Structure 1
Amino acid sequence: MAAYPTLPTDTQGPDLHLYIVQSGSELHGVLEYNACLFRPETIKRLAGHLVCLAEGAIANLNRPIASLPLLTSTEDQQLEDWGSPYFELPQQPIFTAIEAHAAARPAAIALNFKDQYLSYGELNQRANQLAHYLIQRGVGPGVRVASCLDPCLDVLVAVLAIFKAGGTYVPLDPSHPQERLTAILEDTLPPLLLTQAHLVSVVPAIAPQTFCLDQDWTQVRSQPTHNPNLPLDLDQIAYIIYTSGTTGKPKGVMASHRNLLNYIWVAQEKYGFNANDVMPAMARFTFSITMFELFSPLVAGGRLIILERDHVLDFKRLVQTLQEITVIHISPSLMRKLLAYIQEQGIDLQTLQGLRHISSGGDMVPADLLDQLRTLFPQAELYVIYGCSEISCMGCTYPVPTELPITETRVGKPFSNVSVQLYDPQQNRVPIGVIGEIYFGGAGITQGYLNRDHLTQEKFVTIDGQRFYRTGDLGRFDTHGNLEILGRSDFQIKLRGIRMEPGDIEAALRQAPGVRDAVVAACEVGNREKSLVAYLVPQPQQTLNVVEIRRFLQTKLPDYMVPTAFMALDALPVNINQKVDRKALPLPTPQDLLGTQSYVAPRNEVEQKLASIWESALGTSPISVQDNFFDVGGDSLQSIAVMIQIEQTFGKTLPLSTLLTEPTIEQMAAVLTQSKPSDLHKSVVLLKPGGSKPPIFFVHDGEGETLLYRNLALSLHPDHPVYGLQPYSRDGFPILHTRLDEMATYYMEQICLVQPEGPYFLGGLCIGGFLAFEIARKLRQRGQAVEMIALIDTADVKAELRSNLYSTERRNRLSQALGESQQRPVHQRVWSMARTISAKAFNLVRYEVSSRLTVIQCKLRMRLLRYYLDRGWGLPAFLEGIPVRVALKFAEKEYVPAAPYQGEVLLFLATEKSPVFDGTEIDDTPYAHLYADPLLGWEVRVTDGVCLHKVPGGHSSMLQEPNVRVLAKTMQAYIDARMA
C-alpha cells in the first residue's frame, strides 16, 4: 500500500480527514478521525459507504452523485436482520373475538360508561340487533354509515353493528363545526347516519336516513339477537378516519378489516393484554388511536371504560378512575399535566399501583417525562408508540428501559408484520446512522385516501414490489436498530399527539375578517409549551381583531386546530423563489402576540393555585396572571369547572359572573384575599361591548348567573351592546328582595341608568325570562317602548306541570331495567328487582321527609328575611347567604298575575336534553317536557300572541355551541324586523 502523508503532531488536525493516494491503477484511502467524537464502528461504516459510492460512480458514469447508493451489503443484511418478525393473523374480522368472549363469558363486564355497564353478552346482543336492523335498511359491503355520537355505551355498539352488517364506519365529532362535518359527509355520502336525539340538529342533513340510538331503539328491539355471520372480505374497507388536509379540506384515510386485524393483534402480541385488564377510551372517536383503545381490552376479554372529554380533563375524576385501570394510552402533554396534578395534590401513589402498562405517543415523548413515569410507576412497563392513521397507528414501539438513559427521539423497532425503511429523495435506502425519510410497509398500510387518487399515488408508493407509505418524517437507525425521529421533510405540524396540515388552518385564516395572508407554525412562546401560532398579514387599513378571528375559526375548524396565539406581520418572509420562508418567521415573544398580555408569573400562593386551576381547565400552560380567561380559550362550560375547583381549593363560593367582572388571575386573587369583597358584584354586567345599535338586556337565571348568556351575546350583531342583570346584594349571595314585583322594579331602574329611553330589548332564561316580562310591563307603564321580550325556555310562574311526569319516568326506568336484565335467570331478575324496589322505597321516604323539613326551614328563613328587609334592619348572620334560587322560589309562590300584557312575546323552546351537563348539578331537561301547555302558559298572559321558535338542545345546553347559533340567528332576525 502506498504511503500517505501525516499531519504534524504539534498542530490540531481536522476532526475527520480523508486521505486518498493513487498507486498505479488503484486508489487507496485512509480516514483519520477524532476518537472523542467518533466510534470506530461509525468510521468503518463511513469507509464502506465511500467505497460503495466510488464503485457506483464508476459503474454509472452518467448518473448524478445524489442518486447513487451508499448502503453496503453488510448493512443491508443488518437492516434485514433488524426487521420485524412475522405474526400469523386470525383470518376472521376483529369482532369475532368479541363474539367468542360473549359465547364463553356472557356475564363478564365488557364496558362501562359512568354508572352504566354492558356485559359481553349484552354488548354482542345489542350490536347484533342493530346490525340486523342496518342490513334491513340496506347496509352491506361498501355501504358507508356515519356515526355522530357523544361518549356513551352505544359508541361501541354502533361500530360493531356497522362492521357486522358489512358496512364502513365513518365517525363524526359532534363538537366539530358544521362546515367540517358537511365536508366529510359530502365526501363519503353515507345513506345512513347513526346519532343521538340531541345531536340531530348539529349534524348537517345530508344523509338520507337518520337513526337515533337513544330515541329510536324500539325499532331495533324486535330484531334477532344472533350473530349475522355474513361473509366478509378482509380487504373490504372497515372505517374511514379523517385527518387534516393540505388544501383546507380534511382527507379520509380508508382502512380495511385486514388493516384493523393487524392493528389490534400485533399490539396484543407485543403487549400481552389479558382478561384482567381495564383500559380507558380517552381519545376522540374521530382519531385512529381510538380503535386501539376500543378494541384492545375487548379482544383480550378485559374491560373498557368510556370517558367523556370533561372527565379526561378533570384530573380529580380522572385520578379516581385510574384506581380501576391497569392499562392506559395517553398523549405526552396530557400525561405531563396529570403527573403535575398528582404531585401537587399529594395523591397516594399506592392507590395507582394497579397500573401495569403505560404507553404514550402521537408526538415526541420528552425524556424527562419518561424518567418521571418510571420513577412514579416503577411497577408499570412503559412504551413509546410511533405511527399514524395511514399505517393503522402501529408502526414502531420502544420499551423504555428501567435504568438506562432515555433519548426522547427514540421510538424503537417495528411491530410484527410491519416494515420500516429509510430512503433518500431518490428512494435509495440510507445507511445506519444516516437521516432519511421514514417509509412504512406491511399489513397495516391502509388503502389510501377517499376520492384523492393523486394524493394517494403521491404518498403510497411501490418500491421493489412492496407497497409503502411515505410519512414525511425524517429519522435514522441507531446501532441497535432503534428508529429515531429527527423532524419533518415538510411543514406538517404534530401537536399534543395530533397531526395537522398548516394549509388546512391557513385556508381558514385567509377567510377570516381583516386577514389578507397567513402562515401557521408550532412554536414555544416564552416559557409556554409548544402551541399553534398564526402569523397574520392584515388587509390594508384594517386592524386585526383576535376575538373575531378566533370566533370565526371556531366555525371552520376543530377546537384543537384553532391557534392559541396570533402575531401580526407587515408581510410574510419569502425566499429567493418568492415562496414563504417559514424558517425565517420570527419567534414570537409574549409581547408580540395580538390580544394577549405579556406573561406575568404568579407572585403569591393564591395566584399560583389559581394558575394551576386555570391551566388544568383550559389545557394550556403557563397562563399569565394578567391573561383574560376568555382570551386564552375559556368558555362558559370551562368556567363551571374553574369555579368548582376554586370552591374546593379555597372554600369560597364565587358566582360565575366573577369571570366577567374579574376575568384575570390577578383580579380573582384579589377578590379571594379580601375578607368582604363588597364591590365585587354589580347589578348590570357588560357581556359584550357594541356600537350604535340599542343594547340588549338579559336577566339572570334561577341561580342568579349571567355568564350563561355570553355565547349568545357574542353570536348577536356586534353593534348591539349586551348586558346581564344579576341580583343585587352586599356580598353577592343573599338577594335583597323577596317579591318578584320588587325585583322587577329594581332591575328596571338599573336598566334605565344604562339606557334612559326606549326602545328596550329584554330577555332571559327560565325565571329570568319571567322577570324580563315583568320589567317590560313596568316600562310600558312609564310610557316606554319595549320591542322584544325573549323568553328562553321560560314558563309562566303559574303554568302547570304535567300530571303524569314522574309516573312516566318511573315506568321508563322500570322498562329499561327489565330490558337490560333479559339475559339473567328469572329468579335473579326477580330478586334483583325486589332489592331495587325496597331500596327505592326507603330512599323515597327518606327523601320526602328531608325535603319537607328543608321546605319548612327555607320558608321560615325567607319570612324572617322579608321582615328584616321591610323594616330596613341589618341582617343577622343566619339570614345572610340565602341562595338566589331559594328567594326566587319563595317569591314565585306568592306572585299574583296582573292583567295581560299589551303585546307579544318571543318564546324559544328547548327540544332535547343534551349530555353536555351530565355529571353536574345542572338539569338540562327542556321545559316542554315538564309542562302540560305547549306554550308554557304564555298564551293567556299576552294580547298579541306568542311567537314560538324551537331550538336544538336542552334547557341549559340551548345556550351552548352549536345550539346557541340557531337561537341567536332567530333572535337577531326578530330584532332587525322590529327595528326596521
Structure 2
Amino acid sequence: MTRTVFTSGTPGFIGSGRPPFDARTIHELVAEQAERAPHAPAVTCDGQTLTYRQLNDRANRLAGRLRTAGLAPEDVVGVLVRRSPELIVALLAVLIAGGAYLGLEPDDPPGRHELLLKDADAGLVIAEEALRDRIPAGVVAVVEGPAPERPAAEPTAPAPALPESPDGPDSPDRLAYLSYTSGSTGEPKGVGVPHRAIDRLVRGADWMEIRSGDVFFHIAPVAFDASTLEIWAPLVNGCRLVLFPPVAITLEHVARVVRAERVTVLLLTTGFFHQMVSSHPEAFAGVRHVLTGGDVASPSHVQRLLARYPDLLFTNGYGPTENTTYTTCWTSSTLTALRSVPIGRPVSGTRVAVLDGDLEPVPAGECGELYAAGAGLARGYLGRPAATAERFLPDPFGTEPGARMYRTGDLVRWLPDGTLEFVGRADDQVKVQGYRAEPRTVEVELERLAQVRHAVVLPQADPAGGTRLLGYVVPTDPQLPGSADLGQRLRHELRGRLPGYLIPWAILVRPELPVNRNGKIDRQALPTATRVPRNVANEFVAPLTPVQLRLVELWGDLLGVEPVGVDDDFFDLGGHSLLATDLLVAVQREFGVDIPAQTLYLSPTVAELATALVARMETPDTTPGTTTREERSR
C-alpha cells in the first residue's frame, strides 16, 4: 500500500503547504533541547560525541568570544572548519552571538575565500588551527577547537547579552546565514537567510515525520544549503547528528558510516543517491527515510530502492537556495510512473504558483515558470538591491502586507494528482556535481585572463550521468608560442579562482567562435567533444605493462582524455568521486579484483593503481567461490 505524505492545497494554479508554527530562532530551539535532555547525544563524528549540554555550553563560550571580538548584531562571520563537532559548535555560536554564518569550503582556493569574505563584509572568521593560514589579511581569526568542559553540575553559561536592535534580541527575522550562488554577471551573490526560513523547514514539517530517536547524517558542504536541513533538523528536534569524517568522500566509506552509526534519515544529493543505489544498496538497510534533491531524480533508481526496501519512505525535494533548501517535496513509498519522479507539492510554510510570462496562472498540464512565496524566502541578495528586485517580486496572490514571491527560473507543470513535475530551466543555469552553476561565471573568469579574448562555456553530459562544463576560448594572439597547450594552462589558472566543480572538463582553443546571422555566438554550432587532449602539466609517460595499457584505455574511455600517461593523476584529468566509482567497477569487471576506493584516492595515477592491482592479483582470495590469478588469466 502506498504511504504518501502530501501537503494541503488545491491542485491547479496555486498550491500551499500547511502554515508554519510561530517562528523561533534556531539557537533558542537547540537550547531548549539542551535543557530538556542535557546528557542526550547531539553530535557524533569519528568516535567523538558531544551531548546537548556540551554542545550548547561550548557554543555559548565561543559566542562570548565573538562578541568580545566586536561582533555586532547580524554581522557575517566566516566559518572555516572541516566536518567535526567543532564545526557545529562554531555555527551555533555565531547564531547565539546574534551574527550570521558564512560557510567557507576548506578545499576552495584562498582567492575564493577572500572574494566571499570581502563581499560579505565579514571581519571575523572562526577557523580551525590547521586552516588559519588561509584567512586573508585584515580578517580577525577566532580559532575554535576542543576546550575543557565545565563540571556536569555547573549550569550552561550564557553568552554576554546581545545589544538591543529593532527586531529584538531573539527575533526570527534576524539573519542566520549567508549562502553564495554563482551569478549571471560572473560575480557570486550572497543569499541572506533568516531564522524564520530555517524554522519553517526543520520544525513541524508536513512532508516528513521527525522522531526523537532519529539519527541524521551530515555530509554536504556547509556552503551548500542541503546542510541547513542536515544540521538543524536533528538539533532542534532532539535527535542525534552524525557527521561524515573530514576525509575524502567515497561511496564505500559513506555506506560504512551510515550502517555503523545506524542512520535513520539520510539526505544525499541526486547524483550521489544514484551512485549509492547502484553500487551500495545495502547502505539503506537500516534507513527509515531517504531524501534527495539538487537534480532530476532517475525513476529507475527510485523504483529499484523502493522495491528492495518496501517500508522505506523516499522524498524527492526541489528548491533553490533563495527559498531555503526545499520548496516542494514528493514523499512516498512507491513509484508507479516510469516517466519522471514528481517534485511534489509545496512544503509547510510555502506557497507556489505556476505562471506564464505575464504572471498569469497556467492551466494544469501546461508548462509554466515556478514562483515560490511564504516563510522560507530569503531576504534577498546581500548588497545587490537591483538583483533582489529582479528575482523577488511583489506577490499578487499573497494576503499579508508586503508579500513577496521568488522567481525560480524553473519550468514545471501541474500533474492530475496535484503534484508538480519538473520540466527544465528557463535560463542557462545547470547542476554540476550537485551544485547550482551558471556557465557565465566561468566565462567571466576566463575573459579576465590576459591570454583570452573571448570565452564560451557550455554544459554537456558526462559518463557518470551528470553534467560537466566544456569551455571554448579564442586567444588574444593565436600566433604566440604555447597556444597549443593554452587550454591546459587556463584550467590550471582557474583552479586558483574557482571551486573545483566550476573548472571545465576541457578548454578547447578556437581561432574564432561561430556566429549566427544576428551576429551572436551560435552555441549550437560549437563542436562537442567526447575526447580531448590530455590536460595536465606533467610530462607524458607511456604505459609499458599489460595492466598499465588496459588501465590507460579504461581511464581514456571514462574521462574522454587521450593520450593518458601512467603518471597522470585521475582527478587532475577531470575525475571526481562519482567517476571514481565507475572506474573501480570497470576495474573489477576487467580484472576480477576489488580495489577499495581509498586505494584510488591514495594512488591516483595509472602506475600507482597498476602496482596496487598487481599486488592484489598476486595475493588471491582463497575463500570459496573466488578465482585465482591463473584462472582469471585464462
TM range (shorter): 0.7 to 0.9
SS at match of 2:216: strand
Equivalent position of 1:434 in the other structure? 366
For residue 234 of structure 2, the aligned residue among 284, 297, 301 is 297
Per chain length, whose mean CA-contact separation is higher, i.e. which structure has more relative contact order (CA < 8 Å, sep 6+)? 2
Deviations 1:327-382 (A, max 9, x none): 11101211222233326xxxxx3x74321100111010111121222123322101
Q: Is the 8 A contact 2:218 2:227 kept in 1?
A: yes
What is the SS of the residue equivalent to 2:488?
Answer: helix
Q: Would you say 1:551 and 2:492 are equivalent positions?
A: yes
Tell me whether 438-447 or 560-569 shows the greater mean CA deviation: 560-569
- Aligned equivalents of 1:503 and 1:449: distance in 2? 18
How many Å separate the matches in 2 of 1:315 and 1:361? Answer: 21
Q: Summarize the Cα distance change of 1:374–1:567 in structure 2 as closer, same or farther, 3 Å threshold.
A: farther
Matched ranges for 1:26-37 at <5 A: none
Q: For residue 285 of structure 1, report the CA deviation from its aligned partner.
A: 0.9
The change in CA–CA distance for 1:404 and 1:171 in structure 2 (over 3 A counts) is: same
**Structure 1: distance between partners of 2:344 and 2:34:** 36
Partner of residue 205, structure 1: 137
Note closer, same or farther for the CA distance 1:527–1:584 as it changes in structure 2 (3 Å cut).
Answer: farther
Partner of 1:478: 415
One-letter code aligned to 1:519? V
1:387 and 2:319 are equivalent in the alignment = yes
State whether structure 2 residue 607 is matched by structure 1 residue 662: yes
Letter of the aligned partner of 1:212 in structure 2? Answer: V
Q: 1:341 aligned to 2:286?
A: no
Give the alignment partner of residue 115 of structure 1, picking from 38, 47, 50. Answer: 47
Alpha carbons of structure 1 residues 644 and 100: separation in structure 2 relative to 1, 3 Å: same
Query: What is residue 351 of structure 2 aligned with on the other side?
Result: 419
Gap change, CA 1:487 and 1:232, over 3 Å in 2: same
Alpha-carbon displacement from aligned partner over 1:493-512 (angstroms, at most 9, x marks no partner): 12232111111111122245
Aligned to 2:408, the other structure's residue is in SS state strand
In 2, the alpha carbon distance for the partners of 1:143 and 1:219 equals: 28
Deviates more, 1:188-197 or 1:304-313: 304-313
Q: Distance in 1 between matches of 2:522 and 2:279?
A: 40
1:214 aligns with 2:156: no
Which of these two proteins has the greater Rg computed from alpha carbons? 1
- Aligned residues of 1:595 and 1:631 also touching (Cα < 8 A): no
Name which of 345, 351, 376 aligns with 1:444.
376
* 2:503 paired residue among 562, 573, 578: 562
Note closer, same or farther for the CA distance 1:397–1:657 as it changes in structure 2 (3 Å cut). closer
The match for 1:506 among 438, 443, 452 is 443
**Partners of 1:97 and 1:673 in 2: CA distance:** 52
Following TM superposition, by how much is the alpha carbon of 1:419 offset from its aligned partner in structure 2, in angstroms? Answer: 1.1
| Count of aligned positions | 573
- Work out whether 1:573 is the aligned partner of 2:541: no
TM-aligned CA deviation for residue 138 of structure 1: 2.8
State the distance in 2 between where 1:233 and 1:658 align.
51
Contact 1:326-1:356 within 8 A present in 2 as well: yes
Secondary structure in 1 matching 2:445: helix
Q: What amino acid is aligned across from residue 362 of structure 1 in structure 2?
A: G
Assess, with a 3 A threshold, how the Cα gap between structure 1 residues 660 and 166 changes in structure 2: closer, same or farther.
closer
Correspondence for 1:157: 89
Q: Equivalent residue for 1:265? A: 203
**Is 1:633 the equivalent of 2:633?**
no
Q: 1-side partners of 2:601 and 2:213: how far apart? A: 43
The one-letter amino acid of 2:266's match is I
Choose 580-589 or 416-425, whichever is displaced more: 580-589
* Paired residues for 1:904-915 under 5 Å: none
Give the alignment partner of residue 280 of structure 1, picking from 217, 220, 233. Answer: 217
2: CA distance between counterparts of 1:205 and 1:543? 38
Read off the aligned partner of 2:317 and give its amino acid letter.
I
* Equivalent AA in structure 2 for residue 79 of structure 1: G
Stretch moving more, 497-506 or 397-406 = 397-406
- In the alignment, structure 1 residue 125 sits paired with structure 2 residue 57: yes
Contact 1:111 1:306 in 2 (8 A): yes
Distance, in Å, in 2 between the alignment partners of 1:625 and 1:570 is 22
Verify the 8 A CA contact 1:90 1:261 in the aligned structure 2. no
| Contact 2:458/2:471 (8 A) holds in 1 | yes
Deviations 1:692-749 (A, max 9, x none): xxxxxxxxxxxxxxxxxxxxxxxxxxxxxxxxxxxxxxxxxxxxxxxxxxxxxxxxxx
CA-to-aligned-CA distance 1:481-521 (integer Å, 9 cap, x gap): 21111111211112232111111111122245743322122
1:465-864 alignment runs, 5 A limit: 466-512=403-449, 514-524=451-461, 529-539=466-476, 540-541=478-479, 542-590=483-531, 595=535, 627-628=564-565, 630=568, 632-634=570-572, 649=594, 662=607
CA contact (8 A) 2:215 2:234 kept: yes
Which structure shows the bigger proportion of residues in helix conformation? 1
- Rounded Cα–Cα distance in structure 2 between residues aligned with 1:475 and 1:116: 44
Shift of 1:569: 3.3
Cα distance in 2, alignment partners of residues 113 and 335 from structure 1? 22
- The TM-score with structure 2 as length reference comes to 0.81
5 Å matches for 1:456-471? 456-464=388-396, 466-471=403-408
Displacement, 1:199? Answer: 0.8
Letter in 2 for 1:573: P
Rounded Cα–Cα distance in structure 1 between residues aligned with 2:378 and 2:286: 35
Listed as ranges, the matches of 1:315-354 within 5 Å are: 315-316=252-253, 318-323=255-260, 324-342=262-280, 349=282, 352-354=284-286
SS state at 1:141 partner: coil
Deviation at 1:608, TM superposition (A): 13
In structure 2, the partner of 1:167 is: 99
Q: Which residue of 1 aligns with 2:170?
A: 232
The worse-fitting range, judged by mean Cα deviation, of 512-521 and 356-365 is 512-521
Kept in 2, the 8 Å contact 1:275–1:301? The answer is: yes
Tell me: CA distance 1:360–1:611, structure 2 relative to 1, closer, same or farther (3 Å).
farther
Distance 2:272 2:600 in 1: 29
With over 3 angstroms needed to count, the CA separation of the structure-2 counterparts of 1:406 and 1:442, relative to structure 1, is farther
Measured in 2, the distance between the counterparts of 1:96 and 1:524 equals: 45
Q: 1:79 aligns with which of 12, 17, 22?
A: 12
SS in 1 for 2:12: helix
Counterpart AA for 1:393:
T
Shift of 1:77: 7.2
Contact 1:564 1:632 in 2 (8 A): no
1:671: Cα distance to partner? 5.8
Q: Does 1:194 align with 2:126?
A: yes
Asked if the contact 2:18/2:347 (under 8 Å) is kept, the reply is no
| Superposition CA RMSD, Å | 3.9
Cα distance in 2 for partners of 1:656, 1:238 equals 36
1:432 Cα offset (Å): 1.3
Q: Percent identity?
A: 29
Map 1:866-945 onto structure 2 (within 5 A). none
2:76 aligned partner, one-letter code: R
Q: CA deviation at 1:632?
A: 4.5
Hey, what's the Cα distance between the residues in 1 that align with 2:321 and 2:493? 28
Q: TM-score, normalised by structure 1?
A: 0.53
Query: Following the alignment from structure 1 to structure 2, what is the Cα–Cα distance between the partners of residues 658 and 256?
Result: 44
| Unmatched 5+ stretches in structure 1 | 1-75, 344-348, 597-604, 677-980
Aligned residue number for residue 836 of structure 1: none
Question: Which of 240, 255, 258 is the matching residue for 2:193?
Answer: 255
For structure 2, list consecutive stretches of 5 or more residues without a partner in the other structure. Answer: 1-8, 163-168, 537-545, 620-634
Q: Is the 8 A contact 2:316 2:341 kept in 1?
A: no
1:46-72 CA-partner distances (Å, limit 9, x unpaired): xxxxxxxxxxxxxxxxxxxxxxxxxxx
Q: Write the distance in 2 (CA, Å) between the matches of 1:274 and 1:376.
A: 23
CA distance 1:573–1:594, shift in 2 (3 Å): farther
The Cα shift of 1:401 comes to 4.9
Distance 1:461 1:411 in 2: 23
Task: Check 1:205–1:357 CA distance in 2 against 1; reply closer, same or farther (3 A cut).
Answer: same
